[in-house]
Amino acid sequence: MAVRVGINGFGRIGRNVLRAATMAKAFASDAYAQLGGTAIQVFGGIGFTWEHDIHLYYKRLLTVAHALGTASDHLEELATLAID
């Protein structure tokens, strides 16, 4: 929250930076969700899902996705910024 207040203090430039950061967060959260799902498919296809630590990474990925916000959360924030 303090970062948002600091960025918004710059006025118009701050709004553009905040919008760009929100778009980047939405893109990144979509990308790592797809990447994790693809990794599980690849390792599962060759039979190494439980022998490799990929399932642990995938669980962490899901936890981080909910802790930091999903793509829809960030897009909702972006819509709110666009309206203001």
Q: Residue 75: its pLDDT value, please?
A: 85
Q: What is the pLDDT of residues 18-63, one digit of tens each?
A: 888 888 888 888 888 888 889 888 887 777 666 778 888 888 888 8
- Is pLDDT at 4 greater than 80 in this prediction? no
Q: Is the pTM of this model over 0.75?
A: no
Long-range contact pairs involving 70-79 (C-beta distance under 8 Å, separation at least 24):
70/29, 70/33, 71/26, 71/27, 71/29, 71/30, 71/33, 74/22, 74/23, 74/25, 74/26, 74/29, 75/26, 77/22, 78/19, 78/22, 78/23, 78/26
Higher pLDDT, 32 or 11: 32
Q: Residue 30: its pLDDT value, please?
A: 83
Q: Residue 54: its pLDDT value, please?
A: 82
